[in-house]
Structure 1
Amino acid sequence: MKKTFAWLGTGALGAGLLIGTSSAHAAAPVLLSQNKSTTASSEGGSGYAAKYAVDGDTSTRWASVRDSDPQWIYVDLGATAQISEVKLVWDASCATAYRVQTSGDHSTWTDVYSTTSGDGGTDDLTGLKASGRYVRVYGTKRCRNTSSYGYSLQELQVYGSTGGGDTQAPTTPGNVHSTGVTSDSVTLAWDASTDDVGVAAYDIYNDGNKISEAAGTATSKTITGLTPKTQYRLTVFARDAAGNVSPSSTSVTVTTAATDDTQPPTAPANLRSTGVTSGSVSLAWDASTDNVGVTGYDVYSGGTAIVTGVKTTSTTINGLAANTSYTFTVKAKDAGNNVSDASNAVTVKTGSSSGGGVPSTITTVSSGWTIPWGMSWLPDGSALITERDSFKVFKLTQSGTKTQVGTVPNAMTTDGEGGLLGIAVSPNWSSDHYVYIMHTASEGNRIVRMTYDGSSLSGYKILVQGIKKNRYHNGGRLKFGPDGYLYATTGEAQTPDLAQDKTSLNGKILRMTTDGKPAPGNPFGTLVYSYGHRNPQGITWDPQGRLWEAEFGNSNYDEVNLIEPGKNYGWPTCEGKCSTAGMTNPKVQWPVAQASPSDITYADGALYVAALRGQRLWRIPVDGTTTGTPAAYYVNTYGRLRTVETIPGKNALWLSTTNCDNNGNQADGSDKVFRIDLK
């Protein structure tokens, strides 16, 4: 039996009154859900996978496990949509009580329909006025309420449109402040945002990583699970059901309190090496004691923890450089974040490697920098380098002579990661004298063209606008590819849905002509070359013209991706490798503490990736499309590493730091540019 329901109104949560009607809806909207990615709470076997609910075939079906409530299934429409109809074709194992919900992030859900009197057949919910990227059916009571049955849907069909809907973001949350601090929690409060439709949720970030969220009706949130005696820099963003995200609130810096336990563990004793290879060192030590209890051990090198939270008294440190000496110590911690004195130090030299093209010597080219960011080579072997927060552009010669050549107009910071970012010298600079620059401006991020005549910058032409900005996740790398076109990386501006929205310029790699127009052969006929990116800040090409990219993850994995036109690289559905259909997995992934990668370059058979939080330079051997085992150089030696570029015609690299930013906390002028020779 087919039952058609018409939408009559909305309530406070976006739900409405639905009544039965025998009349069909007047217009036929577009089917958005067929063969899209699906996720379910469970599957009753391989023949009952979630994907069968959106395959357009009523002879197949999704079925949950038996005798378990609640159960759910959702479909990812791929972009925020305006939803006007949801059609459910139930199998005999239907739902008596269920809700249809929408979400912009598959985390916070808004009810658009609910019933406690479902009886199977076809439920055709028409006249809906909902928006979201994800649509979920959430069953709480089964029609066949015995241990032999679960829930079963033959088809979940979502109809609507993906254009012309709600595009207005909420206003910025105001007056963010802390109202309470404990050893493991912080309570934040704020003034409510407003929105033309309604605020669905508030997202709370520590620097650029989301750590909590609150309901759209809330104006406070207690964030739990924090570490005692630790500083957090917290911001709040408002989000509506369509996935539009407000600008960042002001940042609030809060330090969690100490626990009543102030006694640190004893120092680990008898630290020793138990094994060495060309790329790893195994360590062991005698256990510490504590008045309450040791919760873990951190391994240090160069004064910074490189492995944290070890639960036993041994560990193996991988990804080390061959034929290199490392000095290690270990400290114990307890639940109060009390840290022991360091163990004895042990120095270990890794074994030799048969491979070539590895870093040998490193020397300082230039010092006195403050957050150098973009770097691009001139024909004479010198480079143009941008400073993110001063908006200045400098020329740096191979001998270390540094000269300011101009300041980029209209650039501004975001008090986070925005500012003056990438720079790319025209491949035809000798004749056109053009340089291309990406920077944050009042309305968003821009790609512009200026003229550099060999001594100073002049002119200013906007090529691309409409790239949204936020405090963090602005991307920003610019480089010319071997095909002569200009490539740019853009972040999703702390609005995850934008990464999957192919009509948005955010969360993408863009490819364009020198006039800022879509390059011929782009997969969608727009500037977009690939999508599903969170915050990419590095791109490079190998000698065969393959494009490689480095990308920040949120809290789990950072990535190196092999980029192909039109491919979807997963964010926010995937962070690191996953098995979701239609998503392209990274070639390399790391825990975020080991990388937070910015720039990437290719040299002598390997990719080199500069790591910020990881404070190391990663070398990744490449053989065609296959990557080898990454090895880390200069771990915690030079601080936060931002940009790495191969010197044209040399078997050598330039590497720059950004220790003067908010996370490095060093004084202005503390950053450097190094030269690394490869052997």
Structure 2
Amino acid sequence: MRRVDVPPYVAAAVLLLVASCGWGGAADGESGRMPGAPTGLTATAGSATSVHVMWNAVTDGPGIHAYEVYRGTTKVHEVPGSEHMVDVIRLRPSTMYVFTVRARDKDGRLGPSSREVRATTPAVVTADHSPPTRPRDAAGRTVAARAVQLSWAASADDRAVVSYDVYQGTTRIHSVGGGQTATVVTGLRPATHYTFTVRARDAADNLSPASAPVRLTTPGTDDGRNTAPTGFRATTHRADGAYYIDLSWLPPRTDGVITEYQIRLDGSPATSLVWGGTPPRGRARYSFYAGRDAGAIHRVRIRARLPDGTWGGFSAERTVTTGARGGAGS
């Protein structure tokens, strides 16, 4: 993402975002509903002492605040609701483990447990400092508007490859067993460009270099309506001899938490907003400097960086005039 240099007074306004944002309560109809059980749970040994646990996001019920991961009956991890995987570490080699996951909403209500999955850690490997070779012949194809299939040639290792990690950009999004050289990645967006790489891991946790990148564009169309902020409003106010543009909006409904937005002013990027704390769940608000001249007409809209790292659709565009009666926009 290209960053735009802004004057000090605008930068100061950006820093005020964390302190000045307001938000409302949960969306209508969410109260009283329990989170559903996580589905699609998998567990894959990542090394002699770790297991990689993954699951699908819970979408039925209210917004998910966190996921609790259990080894047997013991809770071993808690991850934010925007994350759907975790490495369970400090395990014993050559041991079978049982894992389950439960979702918890923002009101503290804990949903039912997922189905049980089992994984067995391999035997410990001593004095192994040699990583596997780079996965060769990485390739892929789209299989739907929201899914792609990836494949690669097996890596070599002086002992054995235990797992393969799949990355989207710089983020690990999936892991499969060492005997598997293909996988399907789901939960993508239509008409979106993605870059994937694969790395091999051995029992001593040595990680290979990344494969060649696989660049794919999912088919279909994405008009942005499902990923754009809604209820977007823009007005102006005057303070200390200057005019400011006041924005408010509802974050898009996504599988994860929105922490970054881009504001476009008169067709060009004006600034990026990054929340330093917990972002609002309801209506968010932000003000920024617009100059000292009355009667200036500005067009403004906003978009969010989604949890998968891509930009969502733009909100509706609003037009405001500094010094207009009531500061109203259209």
TM-score (normalizing by structure 2): 0.44
Quick check: which has more Rg, 1 or 2? 1
Q: Which one scores higher on RCO, CA 8 angstroms, separation ≥ 6?
A: 2
TM-score (normalizing by structure 1): 0.24
